[in-house]
Structure 1
């Protein structure tokens, strides 16, 4: 027998909130700075020319495919962030979009990125510590200590990816950011790169060079997958390496399946960047 057809979502049950699909395009003009197929949303006081110069510098590190030493660390400051499990078009307002089960939270998405990198011969480690549980406060201090311990143990690590999901909500609706890629629906993704404020991120321009190269690698391979890079005065422990970035994998309105598919695409594009140089 063939596969059962997918069930069509029924009417929204009483008391449930609406999930609305949206697609966020690349920006142009104003605060948007082009970087290949993608763009950077410049929310800093730096000029567009300064941002473009840093963005065009390329990778500030050399990844070694085929080396048996770890090159990349994937971790999760907010590991319990999670998704809808079914594409119903509605959500339960009692659902906080957080889960401690690593098969259903950010760890399950980060695993897909790691799989693609490891398959390409780029040794990638994943840390699945729940830095935000039982207490959300202090998550970044705890993840900072985790990353420092990995860097001390494995000085070969050049890239640290903090994998999160966004939360987009308005008028009681939760938004799922989506893109159709190769006939399937993926969660849209967004890189966040911090800018220096009072000396907290002295090497931020190097991180931005990496962010721009990765953005272009994703958007050129899978048009529509990415939202513009958010370049703003954030910290997010991005001083620990020159390859430290945060990436948002969809939103709390997306399904886990959409986010995992996005993880596969993100990982493929990053592996391509590291093995082919673009």
Structure 2
């Protein structure tokens, strides 16, 4: 790793914990198997819809539904953030300050930092990628998806060449006792946050082309697990929307959770993008 992202990487802190500090527990999510889970390479898809598992398996067996142009003058991928102000632990303390909101308008430490690393990796691989850093959830969280919908439509109108739209978020996983979980794996580069793709299914006609998104999700899931085993949690295939009707390559990806550190998330974003670059290059 090199460049600006390296400078943002946090290190272990010796800061004293406040009296009301909360607990953080590192965890690792395994792939699913059996009823409700469909293999995607060595990864898996959690089927939370009314479709039979066999139907989902048939859909994803068709492979990638689109191709991209390598070294194109026109953008092929758009990275954006409906909840751009989501952020992470900024030091590896092993505890969290309950007064820390896990939100920031500083693009050096919020979701746009993760998206910037993903865009860097894709562009370096010859996949023309643009990033939108609009803070759709600031100053108001309500209406974030309506605002990001307008943003994406504007990019697609300007650049019809865009095939892939990635809405990059982070999760927030907390137990009843307040312990925050950070999904993490060890890699050659260091600890990285686990990631999870979310793909919506059609409900009442809101996602008429969802099968293409699902095929893309399955292919990316398989590519990530092939390159970095353990990087992913099972794909969530459910009745979600998330503006995934705008292209047939629209997905939401959760990069870690609010208990992960920023460096773990940036590293995970780079690994996810590296796998995506390999996948998209095969379609060119």
Q: TM-score range by the shorter chain?
A: over 0.9
- 3-state SS of the aligned residue for 1:135? coil
Matched, 1:166 2:171: yes
Where does structure 1 lack aligned partners over 5 or more consecutive residues?
A: 1-5
- Residue number among 220, 231, 242 corresponding to 1:236 in the alignment: 242
2:53 aligned residue: 48
Q: Residue 246 of structure 1 corresponds to which residue in structure 2? A: 252
**Count of residue pairs the alignment pairs up:** 273
Q: Within 2, Cα distance between the matches of 1:242 and 1:99?
A: 31
| Residues in 2 aligned to 1:238 and 1:130: alpha-carbon distance in whole angstroms | 19
In the aligned structure 2, how far is the partner of 1:261 from the partner of 1:249?
10
More moved, 267-276 vs 69-78: 267-276
Residues in 2 aligned to 1:11 and 1:235: alpha-carbon distance in whole angstroms: 42
Describe the superposition over 1:113-164 as per-residue Cα deviations: whole angstroms up to 9, x where unpaired.
1011100111000000000000000000000000000000000000000000
Distance (whole Å) between structure 1 residues aligned to residue 115 and residue 157 of structure 2: 22
Q: 2:105 is matched with which residue? A: 100
Structure 1 position 276, deviation (Å): 3.1
Q: Which whole-Å CA distance do the structure 2 matches of 1:76 and 1:212 have between them?
A: 22
Q: Which of the residues 27, 34, 43 maps onto 1:29?
A: 34
**4+ runs deviating over 4 angstroms:** 6-12
- Given the superposition, is the C-alpha separation of residues 219 and 84 from structure 1 closer, same or farther in structure 2, using an over 3 Å criterion? same
Once the two structures are overlaid, the 10-residue window that deviates more, 82-91 or 55-64, is 55-64
CA contact 1:75–1:110 (8 Å) conserved in 2: yes
Specify the alignment match of 1:177 in structure 2. Answer: 183
Question: Displacement, 1:275?
Answer: 1.1
User: Is the CA contact (8 Å cut-off) linking 2:65 and 2:216 kept in structure 1?
Assistant: yes
Name the residue aligned to 1:78: 83
Contact 2:13 2:92 in 1 (8 A): no
Aligned to 1:119: 124
TM-score (norm 2): 0.93
Using the TM superposition, give the Cα deviation of residue 13 of structure 1 relative to its aligned residue in structure 2, in angstroms: 3.6
Residues 77-97 of structure 1, C-alpha deviations (whole Å, 9 max, x = no match): 000000001111100001110
8 Å Cα contact 2:12/2:93 also seen in 1: no
State the TM-score, normalizing by the size of structure 1.
Answer: 0.95
1:3 corresponds to: none
Q: Which segments of 5 or more consecutive residues in structure 2 lack a partner in the other structure?
A: 1-10
